[in-house]
Structure 1
Amino acid sequence: MEEIAKFMAEHKIIDTQVEHTDIECLGCGREIQRVIITFEGGSQKMNEAGCMCEANRKAQERQRELNARDYDRFSVIQNEYLEKSFDNYIVNSDDEEQKKMQSEALKFTKHYALNFSSHLKEKQNLFIQGTFGTGKTHLAAAIRNEVSKQNYKVLFISLPNYIEALKKEFRDKSNHHSIYKWATEADLLILDDVGANRMNEFAISELFRLVDARIDKCTVYTTNMTSEEFTQTKELNRILSRMVNRAKAIVIKGADYRRKGLM
Structure 2
Amino acid sequence: MSSNSLVASLMNAETATKACDAHGDYLSTHVVFGKTDTWSGCPDCAEEKRQRDQVKEFEENRKIAAQNRLASRIGYACLPPRFAGKSFESYRADTEQQKKYLENCKQYAENFPEHLKSGDGLMLLGNPGTGKTHLAVATLNYIVQHHGEAGLYTTAARMFRRIKDTYTSKDETESQAIDAFASPALLVLDEVGVSFGSDSELNYLFDIMNERYEQCLPTIIVSNVPPGDLGQWVGDRVVDRLRECSKLMVFNWESARRELGRGAA
The answer as to whether partners of 2:197 and 2:232 remain within 8 angstroms in 1 is: no
- Counterpart residue number, 1:18: none
The CA deviation at 1:218 is: 1.3
- 1:254 and 1:200, CA in 2 relative to 1: closer, same or farther beyond 3 A? same
Residue number in structure 2 paired with 1:200: 198
Match of 2:251 in 1: 252
Task: Say whether residues 1:158 and 2:155 are aligned partners.
Answer: yes
Larger relative helix fraction? 2
Taking the aligned partners of 1:65 and 1:125, their CA distance within structure 2 comes to 28
Query: Can you give the 5+ residue segments of structure 1 that lack an aligned partner in the other structure?
Result: 1-11, 15-36, 48-54, 94-98
**1:70, distance to aligned residue in structure 2 (A):** 4.7
Cα drift, residue 237 of structure 1: 1.5
Structure 2 unaligned regions, length at least 5? 1-19, 24-42, 53-57
Among 85, 97, 102, which residue is 1:106 paired with?
102
Q: Distance in 1 between matches of 2:172 and 2:243?
A: 29
Aligned-partner Cα distance in 2 for 1:153–1:193: 21
AA of the residue aligned to 2:257: R
Q: Which residue of 2 aligns with 1:220?
A: 220
Amino acid at match of 1:137: T
Assess if the C-alpha contact under 8 Å between 2:76 and 2:150 holds in 1. Answer: no
Task: Output the aligned Cα RMSD.
Answer: 3.5
149 and 252 in structure 1: CA distance in 2 versus 1, 3 angstrom threshold: same
Q: Distance in 2 between matches of 1:243 and 1:65?
A: 34
Report SS of the residue matched to 1:84: coil
Q: How many pairs were matched up? A: 210
Separation (CA, whole Å) in 2 of partners of 1:46 and 1:173: 52
| TM-score, normalising length: structure 1 | 0.68
Look up the SS of the partner of 2:114 in the other structure: helix
The corresponding residue for 2:40 is: none
The CA deviation at 1:46 is 10
Where 1:196 maps in the other structure, the secondary structure is: coil
Mapped pair 1:39 → 2:45 = yes
The alpha-carbon deviation at position 122 of structure 1 amounts to: 2.8
Report SS of the residue matched to 2:219: strand
Q: Specify the alignment match of 2:171 in structure 1.
A: 174
Deviations for 1:77-97, whole angstroms, at most 9, x for unmatched residues? Answer: 321111111111112x4xxxx
Structure 1 position 162, deviation (Å) = 0.6
Report Cα offsets for 1:154-175 as digits up to 9, x if no partner.
1111111111111112221432
Instruction: Report % sequence identity.
Output: 23
Name the CA distance, whole Å, in 2 between partners of 1:103 and 1:153: 27
Please say if residues 152 and 181 of structure 2, whose CA atoms lie closer than 8 Å, have aligned partners that are also in contact.
yes
Q: Indicate conservation of the 8 Å contact 2:76/2:151, yes or no.
A: no
Once the 2 structures are TM-superposed, how far is the Cα of residue 231 of structure 1 from its aligned partner? 4.2
Equivalent residue of 2:83, what SS?
A: helix
Give the one of 80, 83, 100 matched to 2:82: 80
Q: Is the 8 A contact 2:178 2:204 kept in 1?
A: no
